Amino acid sequence: MAGSPDELHLRKRPLKINTKTTPEEETATSATKWEGEPVSPAGRLFHQPTFNCHIISIFGFGTPVNVDTFIEGLEATLVRHPRFSSIPVLDESNCKKVLRWRPVEVNVKDHIIIPSLSSDPTSPSSNDQLVEDYVSSLSLTTVDHSRPLWEFHIINIPSHESASAAVFRGHHSLGDGMSLTSLLLACTRQSDDPTKPPSLPPRRAGSLYAGPRPETGIWAFLLWIFSFVVLLWHTFVDMLLFVASMLFLRDTETPLKGHKGVEYARKRFVHRTIRLDDVKIVKNAMGCTVNDVLVGVTSAALSRYLYRKHCETNDEKKFPRNTRVRSTLLVNIRPTPGIHDLAEMMEGGKNNAKYGNLIGYMMLRFPIVIHEDPLDYVRQGKAIAARKKNSLEAVSTYFSGKLILKLFGIKALTLHYQSYMNTMKVVMAVDDSVISDSHQLLDDFVESLSIIRIAAEN
């Protein structure tokens, strides 16, 4: 999340940090001295003074956290990863200014924070609010830029979901969500064989977009040519809408859009658990994907929320037609890093694991409408997802992250879906001053999925 306005005012440019050097390094050439990997284009965006972005993740545990054991685990895994043992430094050699990662020594204890919170061991619900308030306060500060850009906050307070929690906060330049999730899994081992990393389904390979491949025969070749032309056309239309958004096309004023300066406001992090089986019931009944269902559920939940807010604040019950609500959807544009590759990276081995921020952007419009048939939300979601898959919009916008930020800014609502085992978390970061009833909005997601699932079963 963005830092406070005072912090951003002081940080006019990327920090130049003086790390300890040996006599040999002092006499080394520039080429030898600056061997660090350049920060990716997306990573440089996250270091912009007006967009100092962090990732905050909460991990719940079944037992209280043993801090000493936790530190030992980090020393054996995470801090061995090059990105988590380096700092971004401005390389001004050869008359060029390049932000590079430079390795430094890591003292893990400097990255462990144990807050003093007054909890009630007999009231898990009040502790939930205590943890929620503490995590929300992290959105107003930033990590220490004089050392590797990550930290863990250990909260040994029981809640209704866990006996304790560890809150990870890391600068977004460390990697995107896919890289960090893969890295986290690479730090774990199988319960039946502690020497092996967890086994996962085969990672995706190939291009982001969907389209038939040429097989044999003239008709197959013509079909491939046609699909390629459609791909180019969709990409052209998407980029044309991108330019139109830059010039005149704006979203409708709604509570989701937020106000000027919302990127600096305190964010509240809330979540709700839904059953992944419910999502799969709809997926199987509709012949679509999990993501298609989630797009439909999101459209339904936002429609319910906005219709209710409109009726509360307007005498006329009729909701304005053609309400435009769009989301900037982040898309992973490279194959997922292999768990074994990342494990080897932390063990010091050489491999070709692709790590970091390699993400593109899509503009996704959510239809704001109340359908009589709840399954129409999923049908629309399926059509939207299919259309976006047949476009190179995400690849085309990879290098334009700064422009996208300027065009759309930071909205009052950020939404994530995270699946684990047989559950799925709906996670939101909201601006309290704009969306004060964030838990009610979560109820809208739960209710929307329930209505859609019941319709799918009948």
What phi and psi values does residue 428 have, to the nearest 5 degrees?
Answer: -130, 145
- How many angstroms separate the CA atoms of 320 and 5, rounded? 35
Return d(Cα 216, Cα 218) in angstroms, integer.
7
Q: CB atoms < 10 A from the CB of 241, how many?
A: 15
| The two structure tokens encoding residue 139 | 């959105």
- Catalytic residues, by residue number, are 172
Q: Are 360 and 239 in contact (CB under 8 A)?
A: no
Half-sphere exposure at residue 339, Cβ-oriented, CA atoms within 13 angstroms: 16
- Cα 245 to Cα 61, 170, 248: the distances in Å are 44, 31, 6
3-state secondary structure of 245: helix
Look at residues 456, 268, 442, 282 and name the one whose alpha carbon lies nearest to residue 373: 456
Nearest to 11 by CA among 167, 136, 180, 171: 171
Nearest one of 401, 407, 449 to 295, comparing CA atoms: 449
How is residue 269 written in tokens?
């992090």
Closest to 330 (Cα-Cα) out of 420, 243, 393, 264: 393
Joined together, the tokens standing for residue 61 give: 């545990």
DSSP 10-36: H--S---------HHHHTS-HHHH--S
